[in-house]
Structure 1
């Protein structure tokens, strides 16, 4: 389907890939448009300006529901290069923060759970509406259970934390 923002591009919602219909200099008609940036997102240069492919994809699929400045496009499966229509959802910044990947530095395999050696206790934490909620436990399992309970209660996305 023709790209909403630019008729030089074709977008395939099944693959999430943009193809050049009219190629800029140095590109070929039929070539894949764009490339990955260091942060993992695919960007496409149009008329000297960089555009995020997932935003172009959303606007192409939903021309009557365009992205406003206070909205974001979430990659449901956390793969920033997967711009298929089924993997994109329009959300607020607060809602997008409820579908984060597990941080690489995480030592325990669950978001929001850590050990406090000075007290010999496990800590469960969650941030909701700019407020930090925290409880302490003697057992790792109890801290994990509390964190998961909070995620359900506060309606975090099922993929939050990479689980």
Structure 2
């Protein structure tokens, strides 16, 4: 009797320290001892843990951060990386929703925009509208700052803010940095804690 070094399953006979299934997998795929059915490995760091995410060929593709207190909640579930870059299980759904016990009519916002940082300090339950306040600069933005654009008509920088599809305030500035400062003040005033701090 012995424990397989891959799955820790107790078996009567080991082959090179592995159960029969993992030994066959290892020899068939040139030393790869994982199978696509194996649970994720979890790496424990000083103040957080990482779930290692694998592709179909058992290669590590990414890692998702979680709190140490959540290890027992996730360790017996097979997690993967979906096409949008989130950690997901096909039956349970998104890891961030699972960890936060998010109601169906709400969403979970990743405060720092890192989709794989699923520590509770980076997650908050909010409405879809609040989540949309914390967005990155769009790819078609030419100024590099959301809510700031060049006004050709008056040759000045325009800073503005929209909420509920209505423009609330705007201003014109000679200096780009002044326009950014004005936009940031508007974000604090109207978006509060949901503003994009980056």
Q: Which category describes the TM-score, using the shorter chain as reference length?
A: 0.5 to 0.7
Q: Give the ranges of 4+ consecutive aligned residues of structure 1 lying more than 4 Å apart after TM superposition.
A: 17-20
Which residue in the other structure is 2:187 paired with? 151
TM-score by length of 1: 0.66
Residue pair 2:87, 2:116 contacting (<8 A) in 1 also: yes
Q: Give a deviation string over 1:7-57, Cα, whole Å, max 9, x none.
A: x99x999332775527xxxxxxxxxx32222222222112xxx61111011
2:99 corresponds to which of 39, 57, 61: 57
Which residue in the other structure is 1:29 paired with? none
Q: Give a deviation string over 1:88-132, Cα, whole Å, max 9, x none.
A: 111112222222223344333322111123442212121123312
Query: Number of aligned pairs?
Result: 134
Tell me the distance in 1 between the aligned counterparts of 2:167 and 2:84: 27
Bigger drift between 92-101 and 133-142 goes to: 133-142
1:79 corresponds to which of 100, 114, 117: 114
Structure 2 gap ranges (5+): 1-38, 50-65
1:36 corresponds to which of 81, 87, 97: 81
Q: Give a deviation string over 1:135-159, Cα, whole Å, max 9, x none.
A: 3333323321220110111143376
Larger Rg: 2
User: For the aligned residues, what is the CA RMSD?
Assistant: 3.1
Structure 1 gap ranges (5+): 1-7, 23-32, 60-66
Change (3 A) 1:73 1:36: same
Which of 1 and 2 has higher RCO (CA within 8 Å, sep 6+)?
A: 1
